[in-house]
Structure 1
Amino acid sequence: MDDERPARFEAVYRQTYGRITAYAARRCDSPQDAADVVAETFTVAWRRMDELPPGEEATLWLYGVARRVLANHHRSEARRRARNVGLDVGLDVGLDARMAGLYEDPPDSGVELEAIAQIFRALPGDDRELLSLVAWEGLDRREIATVLGLSRNAVRVKLHRARRRFSRALTEAGIRFTPESRLIPVERSL
């Protein structure tokens, strides 16, 4: 039995490492933070191997673990920033340089993408997470329900509302999408 545990962990690690790393990287401010989140996620997986479900459900379970690790990471970062508020002068040098006219904005499409990113960041955290699980992770409603510990119906309703809020915010910002410019989820590599 002791030989099966490391072998199973290694198999799950090899199968899911890329997806969990991408998940963390898209939600962290630095590659180092993402690496810490991934390491902690797999540490939890090792400690809780008996709870790790078989097959594709393991990936969804790990997304749920990574989500909780990220929440802890973001809370820790917020506390750290609050302690260091007086020391963080100059973090927005690039923004200040742009505002001072030291360099120009990229072409319109880049400006529009930046506006979309700002609108996305302004959404409530739950909306961002739902939309990210669809667009970045390529998960369907059943899989999202597993990751978030919700019913499929709750995910359907929350996802509908998140999409509606995002769409409304884009419309208010004057950003229009045509059927050709639709955001399409990334293909998963298995």
Structure 2
Amino acid sequence: MREARFEVLVGVVGAPVHRYLVRRAAADAVDDVLAETMLVLWRRLDDVPGLGDGTAVDPDEVLPWCYGVARGCLANARRAEGRRLRLVERLARTAEVLPTASVDHTELHEALRTLNELDREVVQLWAWEGLAPRGIAEVTGLTANAVSIRLHRAKKKLSVLLGRKNAVGAGQEKGKGGSEL
């Protein structure tokens, strides 16, 4: 029943509201604002004056209210566009100049290719996406323990391949803070 009432309403107000928006909005925003307007009309279907049971709808009763909804949606779209433009301007003013020389990561990518696909994915989720083992486990379907083991082994292999073996843990001096075998 609700769907039928909405279809009747759209049949009566769809074209006039579209024309209303075409005359007031940028061409690339009309369809988005129309869709938002229709969504509001759907949500507030019971509030539309003059709709009744939806069998016989008088455009003179429903159109002004629907124009008001479209006007509100258009105002929201304009405010959102204004915020977006202000953000772009602010980012442009504060953007740091990026170095012209690009960093060569060829060695790293070659080392990553030596890992099997799952280990490579685990390392990338950890390093690039910043996920903890529990999050990586959720993505990959492994257990968190299995992820931790794979990550440890993969990092160790990458360290050897990249020539960055550290006999000492980070922040520790050799012979201090830990058991020596």
Q: Shorter-chain-normalised TM-score: which range?
A: 0.3 to 0.5
**Higher RCO (Cα < 8 Å, 6 or more apart):** 1
TM-score w.r.t. structure 1 length?
Answer: 0.41
TM-score w.r.t. structure 2 length?
Answer: 0.43
